[in-house]
């Protein structure tokens, strides 16, 4: 077979490759939305300088109409089998082999085009704790990771599924998982620790229930993406309270979107849509220029050169109520603390003492989530090219160490001549709580907490509304719309107010006693739309003008048994009864 040459990622593809990965969706609603809104998912113009405010990309039809399930490619049906993702892997590939021993050695003319060492992860080259990977002419080659194994060996071909062979456009690896994209950016997954490393280990399945939906993909505007796998050598992760928690097998993919203001994340156990995001640094207002990830940790470099890392994904953030126990209550002094919410926030790292680019890389280091090896491409004071590196856990300004490689810089030098900040995606709601006027000043569908201000008999009571995305097994649109979006949430009395509550007016004391009693945290379900926020446990409702209803039209979500089960389990974990008010 003649193999086309693919020197870099191509986001366009023949219709025969592109047509089968799109989801089943409500076509009549899509047609209506097309008539009322001609929107683009491309990044907004960045002609303005660093002092200007970056615009968020407008919603697309794909983000508003994610469909129900993915249509499989009938020409490649065998690729929806494979051992990866099965609850009980069966060795479908009898001809399995060890990655360090098997596979045909790369031809000399191919080997000359491949790197000697993979220093930084990217879309064409990647690594994990055992291997280097590289893409050449639509195929994947691998060899031992010399830095971690001490083994120096030639590149060998990785066996690929029939429809992927010669069509690989991008890759990303972490832990024991390798993700590869074809020319249509459809996802192929290989977990060589839980199946075979031959063609039988690959699968195109992605999504519920239990990794059985028939395909996922990387969205067209995504500029950087990273596979992260938290398992194997990872003994624990550190939760939002600083407690060590045992991880489950966690596969997560971070996607840096085209406007630089959003990080979408995908999980093969969750619906294939654009509804889940990681709130970016500075409450989602930092314009990000580059992204990498490892072990459920995202690393970003901003357009102004600032660098951040954050441990975040579905299990860590509080979404997996079925298999894990969480709590918004203080877990100090408990023998077996639950996973403390809220999850860990961004870590802002010292600036690199040299010129850097937006090409970055992250690699997990055992034993726990606090250790990650950070690398940033750049120059030293003498103009030598290479990369700066440090451990995430070392916060000192002198932690950065330069490693010269002599390789040409591939990233964009920072700072970028474009806006460095954007507007927060905040909404303001108003209402009356227990007869008192109240304002929810800055509720954000992806960034928590929000400020809840209640005027209790003329005295302002400032509360915190914390929220985290709840479990869903059915697809829904991104952000807020006309349909209630479920969050696991809590209203918290700030520590200074809680400690001085006995000194407040009788009305304030009565208000706090009614809703908080002896604990400063009220755990609750929260349901949010563009027009209303309902804090269920307290029977509080706040409202706003939802704006143009045509602009808010999205795909109606299906009844989601996963959400219903998650709500019941969360109530059981919290030790509370369902709210008495009619929701």
Contact 451, 467 (CB under 8 A): no
Q: Is a pLDDT exceeding 80 seen at residue 20? A: no
CA of 452: how far to CAs of 135, 180, 276, 434, 533, in Å? 51, 44, 24, 14, 12
Percent of the chain topping pLDDT 90: 79
CA dist 564 and 578 (Å) reads 12
Least confidently predicted of 38-47, 299-308, 311-320: 38-47
CA of 333: how far to CAs of 88, 237, 239, 572, 583, in Å? 38, 19, 15, 21, 36
Q: What is the rounded average pLDDT of the residues 414-426?
A: 97
3-state secondary structure (DSSP) of residue 509: helix
Structure tokens at 394: 């070392």
pLDDT digits (tens, 9 = 90+) for 59-100: 999 999 999 999 999 999 989 987 787 765 554 444 454 434
| Closest C-alpha to 297, from 318, 308, 311, 280 | 311
Contact 301, 292 (CB under 8 A): no
Residue 41: predicted pLDDT: 42
Q: Is a pLDDT exceeding 80 seen at residue 104? A: yes
CA dist 582 and 575 (Å) reads 20
Q: Is a pLDDT exceeding 60 seen at residue 16? A: no
CA dist 105 and 476 (Å) reads 45
CA of 193: how far to CAs of 2, 89, 174, 190, 481, in Å? 32, 10, 12, 9, 41
Q: What is the rounded average pLDDT of the residues 92-109?
A: 64
Residue 291 burial by CB count (10 A; 0-12/13-18/19+): exposed, middle or buried?
buried
pLDDT digits (tens, 9 = 90+) for 443-499: 999 999 999 999 999 999 999 999 999 999 999 999 999 999 999 999 999 999 999
Q: Is a pLDDT exceeding 50 seen at residue 114? A: yes
Residue 86: predicted pLDDT: 72
pLDDT digits (tens, 9 = 90+) for 386-418: 999 999 999 998 999 999 999 999 999 999 999
Residue 309: predicted pLDDT: 98
Q: What is the rounded average pLDDT of the residues 35-54?
A: 60
| Contact partners, residue 517, CB within 8 Å, separation at least 6 | none
Residue 142: predicted pLDDT: 94
pLDDT digits (tens, 9 = 90+) for 169-202: 999 999 999 999 999 999 999 988 765 544 567 8
Spans of all domains in the chain: 1-25+80-218, 228-424, 427-574
Structure tokens at 2: 């003649």
| Contact partners, residue 473, CB within 8 Å, separation at least 6 | 208, 209, 270, 271, 560, 561, 562, 563
Residue 156: predicted pLDDT: 94
Q: Compare 156 and 48 and report the one with higher pLDDT.
A: 156
Dihedrals phi, psi of 171, to nearest 5 degrees:
-140, 160
| Contact partners, residue 69, CB within 8 Å, separation at least 6 | 23, 24, 207, 213, 214
Q: Is a pLDDT exceeding 90 seen at residue 303? A: yes
pLDDT digits (tens, 9 = 90+) for 520-559: 999 999 999 999 999 999 999 999 999 999 989 999 999 9
- Whether the bond between 209 and the residue before it is cis, its omega within 30 degrees of 0, is yes
| Closest C-alpha to 291, from 229, 350, 360, 353 | 360
Residue 521: predicted pLDDT: 98
Report the DSSP pairing between strands 263-266 and 277-278.
Answer: antiparallel
Least confidently predicted of 100-104, 149-153, 286-290, 489-493: 100-104
Q: Is a pLDDT exceeding 60 seen at residue 582? A: no
Residue 202: predicted pLDDT: 87
CA dist 168 and 141 (Å) reads 11
| Contact partners, residue 443, CB within 8 Å, separation at least 6 | 426, 427, 428, 429, 450, 465, 528, 533
Residue 30: predicted pLDDT: 43
CA atoms within 13 A on the CB side of 198: 12
CA dist 87 and 548 (Å) reads 45
Residue 232: predicted pLDDT: 66
| Closest C-alpha to 21, from 157, 263, 216, 205 | 216
């Amino acid at each position: 077979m003649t193999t086309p040459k693919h020197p870099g990622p191509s986001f366009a593809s023949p219709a025969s490759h592109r047509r089968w990965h799109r989801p089943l969706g409500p076509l009549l609603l899509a047609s209506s939305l097309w008539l009322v809104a001609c929107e683009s998912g491309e990044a907004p113009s960045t002609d303005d300088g660093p002092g200007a405010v970056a615009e968020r990309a407008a919603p697309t039809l794909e983000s508003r109409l994610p469909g129900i399930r993915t249509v499989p490619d009938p020409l490649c049906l065998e690729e929806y089998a494979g051992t990866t993702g099965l609850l009980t892997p069966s060795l479908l590939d009898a001809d399995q082999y060890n990655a360090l021993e098997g596979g045909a050695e790369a031809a000399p003319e191919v080997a000359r085009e491949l790197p000697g060492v993979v220093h930084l992860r990217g879309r064409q080259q990647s690594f994990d704790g055992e291997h280097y990977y590289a893409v050449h002419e639509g195929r994947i080659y691998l060899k031992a990771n010399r830095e971690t194994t001490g083994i120096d060996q030639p590149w060998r071909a990785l066996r690929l599924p029939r429809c992927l062979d010669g069509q690989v456009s991008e890759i990303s690896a972490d832990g024991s998982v390798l993700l590869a994209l074809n020319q249509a950016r459809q996802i192929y997954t290989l977990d060589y620790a839980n199946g075979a490393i031959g063609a039988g280990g690959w699968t195109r399945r992605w999504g519920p229930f239990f990794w059985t939906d028939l395909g996922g993909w990387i969205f067209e505007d995504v500029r950087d993406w990273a596979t992260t796998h938290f398992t194997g050598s990872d003994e624990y992760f550190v939760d939002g309270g600083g407690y060590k928690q045992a991880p489950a097998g966690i596969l997560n993919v971070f996607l840096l979107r085209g406007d630089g203001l959003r990080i979408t994340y995908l999980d093969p156990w969750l619906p294939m849509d654009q509804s889940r995001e990681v709130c970016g640094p500075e409450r989602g207002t930092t314009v990000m220029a580059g992204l990498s990830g490892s072990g459920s940790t995202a690393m970003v470099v901003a357009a102004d050169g600032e660098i951040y890392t954050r441990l975040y994904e579905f299990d860590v953030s509080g979404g997996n109520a079925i298999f894990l126990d969480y709590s918004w209550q203080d877990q100090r002094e408990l023998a077996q603390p639950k996973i403390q919410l809220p999850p860990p926030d961004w870590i802002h790292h010292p600036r690199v003492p040299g010129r850097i680019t937006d090409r970055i890389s992250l690699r997990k280091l055992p034993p726990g989530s606090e250790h990650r090896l950070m690398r940033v491409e750049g120059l030293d004071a003498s103009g030598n090219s290479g990369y700066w590196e440090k451990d995430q856990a070392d916060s000192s300004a002198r932690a950065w160490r330069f490693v010269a490689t002599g390789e040409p810089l591939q990233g964009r030098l920072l700072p970028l001549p474009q806006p460095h900040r954007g507007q927060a995606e905040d909404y303001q709601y108003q209402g009356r709580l227990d007869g008192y006027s109240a304002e929810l000043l800055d509720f954000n569908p992806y960034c928590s907490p929000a400020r809840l201000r209640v005027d209790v008999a003329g005295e302002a009571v400032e509360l915190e509304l914390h929220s985290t995305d709840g479990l869903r097994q059915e697809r829904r649109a991104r952000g807020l719309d006309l349909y209630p979006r479920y969050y696991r949430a809590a209203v918290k009395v700030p520590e200074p107010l809680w400690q001085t509550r006995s000194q407040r007016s009788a009305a304030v004391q009565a208000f706090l006693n009614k809703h908080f009693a002896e604990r400063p945290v009220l755990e609750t379900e929260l349901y949010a739309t563009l027009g209303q926020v309902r804090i269920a446990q307290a029977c509080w409702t706040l409202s706003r003008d939802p704006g143009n209803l045509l602009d808010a039209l999205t795909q109606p979500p299906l009844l989601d048994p996963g959400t219903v089960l998650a709500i019941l389990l969360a109530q059981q974990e919290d030790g509370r009864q369902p709210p008495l008010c009619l929701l």
